[in-house]
Amino acid sequence: MLNKFIKIKSIKAISLMLALSLPTGLLMGQALPDFTVLVEKNAPSIVNVSTTLAAPEARTEDRANLDELLRRFYGDKAPQLDLPQPNEEQESPSATGSGFIISADGYIVTNHHVVDTATSITVTLNDQREFTATVVGSDERSDLALLKIDATDLPAVKLGDSSKLKVGEWVLAIGSPFGLQYSVTAGIISYMGRSLPTEGSNYVSFIQTDVAINPGNSGGPLFNLAGEVIGINSQIFSNSGGSIGLSFAIPVDVAKNVVAQLRENGSVSRGWMGVGIEDVSQELAQAFNLETPHGALVNRILDGGPAQAAGFQAGDIIVEFNGQAIRTSADLPYYVGLVMPGTKVPVKIVREGQSQALDMKVGSLGEATTLAAAFPALTSNRLGLVVAEIDQKTMQALGIEHGVLVQEVEGAAAAAQIKPGDIIVALNNVDITSPADIERVSALLPVNRVLPVLIARNEQLSYFTITLPE
Catalytically active residues are: 113, 143, 218
Q: Are strands 271-272 and 247-251 parallel, antiparallel or unpaired?
A: unpaired
CA dist., res. 435 & res. 418, Å (int): 16
3-state SS, one letter per residue, for the chain: CHHHHHHHHHHHHHHHHHHHHCCHHHHCCCCCCCCHHHHHHHHHHEEEEEEEEECCCCCHHHHHHHHHHHHHHHHHHCCCCCCCCCCCCCEEECCCEEEEECCCCCEEEECHHHHCCEEEEEEECCCCCEEECEEEEEECCCCEEEEECCCCCCCCCEECCHHHCCCCCEEEEEECHHHCCCEEEEEEEEEEEECCCCCCCCCCCEEEECCCCCCCCCCCEEECCCCEEEEEEEEECCCCCCCCCCEEEEEHHHHHHHHHHHHHHCCCCCEECCEEEEECCHHHHHHCCCCCCCCEEEEEECCCCHHHHHCCCCCCEEEEECCEECCCCCHHHHHHHHCCCCCEEEEEEEECCEEEEEEEECEECCCCCCCCCCCCEEEECCCCEEEECCCHHHHHHHCCCCCEEEEEECHHHHHCCCCCCCEEEEECCEECCCHHHHHHHHHCCCCCCCEEEEEEECCEEEEEEECCCC
CA dist., res. 327 & res. 89, Å (int): 50
The residues facing 385 across adjacent strands are 380, 409
